[in-house]
Chains A and B, each alone.
Chain A
């Protein structure tokens, strides 16, 4: 199928004559009627009840800080549409953060939240890139709730969305994939203490699933390069490339199977998981590979379609499945033979764009149902 054909067809469809007359008048009348009717009361979803009912998830795959042993928990649900707000702008999305003392989720007025590895700070984002609701990204202190906002307007495309950032395992830095309107896609590293930004002179990170995966020592990050023969072909993995914090490529190895094109995922002790394919029907293939050479040590498939989210300890992985798989959308922990250890069934009620998983250590007994 050619791009040309799609473009021409959409143009033909769009050329179906002018809109009907009287649109503004009808819209104004409709708005008056809606105002009189008022919003339906009580539409708001009780946060805990909704969580009890379940969550759909997306994103964050492969770019999360690895959770340690001792059980894990969803530390944040990010980007939830509030059904009580008619305005479709993402500026009105909210998020849920797990309070480790109470074991309950609290609602925070940010469209995006990403807790630091120790949970003391949270990368937050708000706005819809409009004049009324400009996009802002900042770091919130968990106790005081105060936010230090990152400077905007200094670099095209930065800071973008909070969801583009990834905490380093030591919690000292956040790496953002910078996607300007024009020019190369690159990386910006923000020092959490000072908010100082460094643009790394890396090659154009435009191709493939270029999500950043910090190495466990926080000294740099890795990506999986991938190419696309054409728009309808699947991604084909090339190399796993390791960069230091000066943007220098210091190591790379070929990926043994072009199917394993998703972002790399490191455990806390440095084990490496590669996965793929991306966005294709069929099973998710996962390879546990030597982080120095790429030699595959374990290989197994998860009944797909699914996506690798990250490591849980050193001998389990977290995956989420997609629509179309028997059983629907679920979050699963699997062992390194692909056996499902535990499954968290996504419920109805809260539709989070992203989830962030952290350690369940220290949670009260009342939160046992939330852990996996």
Chain B
């Protein structure tokens, strides 16, 4: 890659790395892991820059973030759920700190979710992508996206039962 292309790549990273880093943070929930993930993907981006620069490089890199994080089909079979060495605390609901506690409980539950499940939730709830686009990004069937999302939400409820109680209360207050 010549100097001009390198300068162009550097300009692109300067302009878009913050947005990509936000996605990496949502995917990993951990700053160091997010930095590693983004760095890995940017190296790939630099290698392929002459080819991707004229297209949609940010979309390319964003897809690469998800693919790198999940290694979708390989992880489906080989990777177990992410284990943590801390047992999540049970959030207490019904007082002024309930909402904060729920967020905390959800963060802890997300940390224990398998990468493929978390990626589907990030694409749905953080990026607001329709299932067809999620399937395209993750390289799987749309029906798989739906089934994985259902499983992910079910697993979150299992990991943090207080989230279900919160939903029930919200429904009741409507």
Contacts and interface: CB of A to CB of B under 8 A. Distances in A.
Interface of A: 1-3, 5-20, 23-28, 30-31, 34-35, 56, 58-61, 79, 81, 86-90, 93, 128-132, 160-161, 163, 179, 209, 211, 230-232, 234, 278-281, 323, 328-329, 351, 353-354
A42 B31 CA distance: 36
A28 B147 contact: no
A10 B120 CA distance: 12
Interface in B70-119: 73-74, 76-77, 102-103, 106-107, 110
B55 A131 contact: yes
A209 B22 contact: no
B139 A81 contact: yes
Contact of A18 (B1, B6, B21): B21
B110 A1 contact: no
Main secondary structure of the interface of A (DSSP, over half): loop
Contact of B18 (A18, A25, A87): A18
A34 B38 CA distance: 16
Contact of B22 (A14, A87, A230, A232): A14
Nearest to A161: B136
B143 A61 contact: yes
A96 to B, nearest CB: 15
B39 A23 contact: yes
B25 A90 contact: no
Contact of A88 (B25, B64, B106): B64
B132 A179 contact: yes
Contact of A19 (B38, B147, B148, B149): B38
Given A23-B17, A24-B14, A27-B46, A132 B136 contact: no
Contact of A132 (B43, B51, B63): B51
Contacts of A9: 103, 106-107, 110
B157 A1 contact: yes
A31 B39 CA distance: 11
A87 to B, nearest CB: 6
11 contacts: A1-B166, A10-B26, A15-B22, A16-B25, A24-B13, A27-B46, A28-B1, A30-B39, A59-B144, A211-B143, A329-B77
